[in-house]
């Protein structure tokens, strides 16, 4: 992309041409003060590009309207990608302040475009003429997406409604940013310092090492620190023998955003929910959930609820049976207390040990981070012919970030993969995939084709220098999951940027990631890569057998905590109006309605539910993980039915119709092209061990 011609270009690396390897962002040169001027220049450039489209005196054509819009905003995309990447993965006070200032401005900019009467008139004209334009299938899909997205944003409404929609959009952007920063502040401010062997009782070596490293990062040498990062607090809850400390850590973990202080999120949730309901009404829907699902695979809230309520009863029964078994363990140990939420993970480990002679400490020595990365890359090679070669000269935003050039089976460059694996105080919690640049063929074909820069971000507890970082099986599954998203971005093979890679329906986007998790569990993969970090010996067959036998252990708990979150999300967004909403009371009422076991908390309580309230990415759509799991459970059966987990013909169909296809088709059509039919929920219930035959 050509550099912007401004006086500040030479001194602002965000506005200059990037001469770095593969055109990666020059992180060593980028400072927080560069973003303000860069956004000003990028926004102005995008406005000029849109004005040129709407001011074109020629009749609307696909080329002078849709293709022109696809080409517009490239500089803004580039600056935004770098900014939001840093604001999430390596932030600071300056970036947080700028994020608060920018979010309503960027929302207003987007509203100005999507509510532009002249622009929509050109798009609508093309839509009415679509059968006579001679469009190829991809162009037809792009036009349909533009028309649908503009209509769903309010194009075509009267001025009063459009003005109100613009106000709502800007306010929601501010609320979402504030919500996420409140959660981050709570996560950064809380630590549990362990001082002495009594506080460390029960903690395995890997967790002690990680806690020691976390303490060192916080200048508490000689101590051990537990943080609210999931990879820190969950193993602590599993292993600590100190029930009082487990309770302290657990209560802090579930209270993020809910402490009635300056970072409390309940008022933000109430206002967000009310504004979303109002926006839905302005657009002609009776609830935000109805609005959201209309443009998803699910189509209606009733279909979403139908899936969740099909899974809930067997999951709850399974969880209650496990609860009773753990209460029996407590009694047998002489404990005089009822199992509480901060006890579940601790006694679940004991129950797993009793049922399967297996515990987490036995598995972790075989799951060194480097080996799990190698396993994930090897599966990508066997399925899709990709190779990942580590490269050291690509700029990164933190010294821990690793970079890899990705090539296909013919040795052709596919893209660059960035892996940011370790938790740190400057990073938001969780795991995600994003990009610094997306694939497209619009700006050049062949060697000039734009290839992606793909990022995976995780929050694993880092080992001490010179030691191996060891993962839990859930951590390893997360790594495979995020690389599944990464492959969706890397393998993208479309012309138009707006439908590339992961830009698909939310309840379809988790299919490539959740499906990829299956290969971690394949015995041939574990035998090759699950090597003891000290001896190098492969995981014994006896341990592999235990892992297989225990695959569905505790799935009642996992399903309950997830489905409860999805149902509460749905309840919030099925409200026809949400004025003066009492968030705490509403949460309690929703959970009481489904008879939520008191020993289990939602995976994400509303006050720290960033999927849903930090922007609208998964608002009314947290169900998407389970919707996609229906697909992924059935999709992996396509491989199982061939007798080869890496069957080349099945992998080729998967690549063609899912991983490389972007949003070129309706997701139901894409899945049917791959599988020959749509799935049922039965494969999911079997996978989770929630059928009578699969239950332990």
| CA 498/CA 77 separation, integer angstroms | 11
Chain centroid to CA 163: how far? 32
Q: Which residues are catalytically annotated?
A: 482
Pairing, β 413-422 against β 453-460: parallel
Instruction: Compute the half-sphere exposure of residue 594: CA atoms within 13 Å on the CB side of its CA.
Output: 32
List the Cα angle 60/62/64 in 5-degree steps: 60
Task: Identify whether the C-beta of residue 623 lies closer than 8 Å to the C-beta of residue 292.
Answer: no
SS3 420: strand
SS3 47: helix
List C-alpha distances in Å: 694 to 350, 544, 560, 645, 691: 21, 19, 17, 21, 5
| CA 610/CA 311 separation, integer angstroms | 24
Residue among 383, 392, 410 nearest 487 (CA): 383
With a CB cutoff of 8 Å and minimum separation 6, the contacts of 687 are 552, 629, 633
What is the CB neighbour count within 10 angstroms for residue 524? Answer: 11
Residue among 117, 140, 14 nearest 75 (CA): 14
List C-alpha distances in Å: 183 to 179, 249, 271: 6, 16, 17
| CA 558/CA 254 separation, integer angstroms | 16
Task: Identify whether the C-beta of residue 506 lies closer than 8 Å to the C-beta of residue 621.
Answer: yes
Chain centroid to CA 442: how far? 27
Sign of CA dihedral 212, 215, 216, 220: negative
| CA 451/CA 386 separation, integer angstroms | 14
| CA 121/CA 207 separation, integer angstroms | 60
Strand partners, 402: 419
Task: Provide the strand spans (E) within 55-201.
Answer: 192-194
Task: Provide the strand spans (E) within 474-543.
Answer: none
Q: How far apart are the first and last CA of the chain?
A: 58
Task: Identify whether the C-beta of residue 346 lies closer than 8 Å to the C-beta of residue 240.
Answer: yes
Q: Looking up tokens 């209270």, which residue turns up? A: 255
| CA 3/CA 634 separation, integer angstroms | 47
Six token digits for residue 182: 């409140």
| CA 133/CA 613 separation, integer angstroms | 41
| CA 680/CA 692 separation, integer angstroms | 17
Residue among 548, 528, 523, 524 nearest 538 (CA): 528
């Amino acid at each position: 992309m050509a550099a912007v011609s401004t006086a500040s270009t030479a001194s602002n690396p965000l506005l200059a041409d990037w001469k770095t390897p593969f055109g990666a962002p020059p992180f060593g040169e980028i400072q927080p003060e560069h973003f303000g001027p860069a956004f000003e220049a990028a926004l102005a450039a995008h406005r000029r590009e849109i004005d040129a489209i709407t001011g074109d005196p020629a009749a609307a054509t696909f080329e002078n309207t849709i293709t022109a819009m696809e080409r517009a905003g490239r500089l803004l995309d580039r600056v935004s990608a770098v900014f939001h990447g840093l604001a999430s993965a390596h932030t600071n006070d300056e970036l947080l302040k700028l994020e608060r200032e920018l979010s309503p401005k960027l929302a207003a900019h987007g509203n100005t475009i999507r509510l532009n009467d002249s622009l929509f008139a050109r798009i609508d004209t093309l839509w009415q003429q679509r059968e006579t334009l001679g469009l190829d299938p991809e162009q037809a899909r792009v036009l349909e997406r533009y028309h649908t997205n503009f209509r769903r944003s309010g194009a075509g409404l009267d001025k009063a409604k459009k003005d109100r929609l613009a106000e709502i959009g800007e306010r929601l952007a501010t609320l979402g940013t504030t919500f996420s920063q409140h959660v981050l502040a709570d996560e950064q401010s809380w630590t549990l310092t362990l001082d002495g062997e009594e506080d460390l009782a029960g903690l395995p070596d890997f967790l002690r090492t990680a806690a020691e490293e976390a303490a060192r990062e916080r200048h508490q040498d000689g101590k051990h620190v537990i943080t609210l990062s999931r990879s820190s607090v969950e193993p602590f809850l599993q292993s600590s023998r100190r029930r009082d400390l487990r309770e302290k850590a657990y209560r802090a973990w579930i209270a993020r955003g809910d402490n009635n202080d300056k970072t409390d999120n309940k008022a933000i949730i109430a206002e967000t929910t009310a504004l979303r309901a109002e926006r839905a009404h302005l657009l002609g829907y009776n609830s935000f959930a109805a609005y959201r699902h209309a443009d998803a695979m699910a189509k209606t809230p009733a279909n979403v609820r139908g899936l969740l309520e099909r899974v809930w009863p067997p999951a709850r029964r399974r969880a209650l049976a496990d609860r009773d078994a753990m209460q029996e363990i407590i009694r047998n140990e002489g404990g005089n207390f009822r199992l509480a939420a901060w006890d579940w993970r601790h006694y679940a480990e004991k129950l797993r040990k009793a049922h399967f002679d297996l515990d987490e400490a036995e598995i972790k020595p075989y799951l060194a981070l480097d080996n799990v990365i190698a396993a994930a890359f090897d599966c990508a090679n066997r399925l899709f012919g990709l190779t990942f070669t580590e490269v050291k000269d690509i700029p990164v935003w933190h010294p821990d970030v690793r970079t890899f050039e990705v090539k296909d089976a013919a040795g052709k460059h596919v893209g660059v993969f960035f892996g940011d694996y370790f938790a740190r105080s400057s990073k938001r919690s969780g795991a995600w995939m994003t990009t610094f640049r997306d694939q497209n063929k619009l700006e050049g074909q062949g060697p000039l084709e734009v290839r992606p820069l793909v990022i995976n971000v995780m929050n694993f507890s880092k080992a001490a220098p010179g030691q191996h970082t060891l993962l839990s099986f859930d951590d390893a599954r997360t790594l495979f999951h995020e690389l599944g998203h990464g492959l969706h971005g890397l393998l993208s093979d479309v012309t138009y940027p707006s439908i590339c890679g992961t830009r698909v329906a939310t309840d379809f986007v988790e299919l490539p990631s959740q499906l990829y998790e299956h290969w971690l569990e394949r015995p041939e993969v574990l035998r090759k890569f699950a090597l003891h970090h000290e001896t190098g010996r492969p995981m014994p067959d006896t341990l592999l057998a235990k892992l297989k036998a225990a695959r569905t252990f505790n799935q009642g708990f996992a399903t309950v905590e997830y489905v409860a979150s999805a149902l509460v999300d749905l309840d919030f967004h099925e409200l026809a109006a949400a004025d003066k909403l009492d968030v705490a009371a509403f949460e309690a009422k929703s959970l009481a309605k489904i008879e939520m076991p008191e020993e289990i908390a939602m995976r994400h309580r509303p006050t720290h539910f960033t999927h849903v309230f930090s922007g609208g990415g998964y608002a009314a759509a947290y169900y998407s993980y389970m919707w996609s799991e229906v697909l992924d459970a059935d999709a992996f059966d396509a491989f199982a039915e061939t007798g080869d987990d890496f069957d080349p013909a099945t992998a080729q169909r998967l690549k063609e119709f899912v991983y490389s296809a972007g949003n070129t088709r309706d997701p139901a059509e894409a899945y049917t092209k791959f599988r020959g039919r749509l799935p049922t929920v039965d494969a999911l219930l079997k996978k989770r061990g929630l059928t009578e035959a699969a239950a332990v």
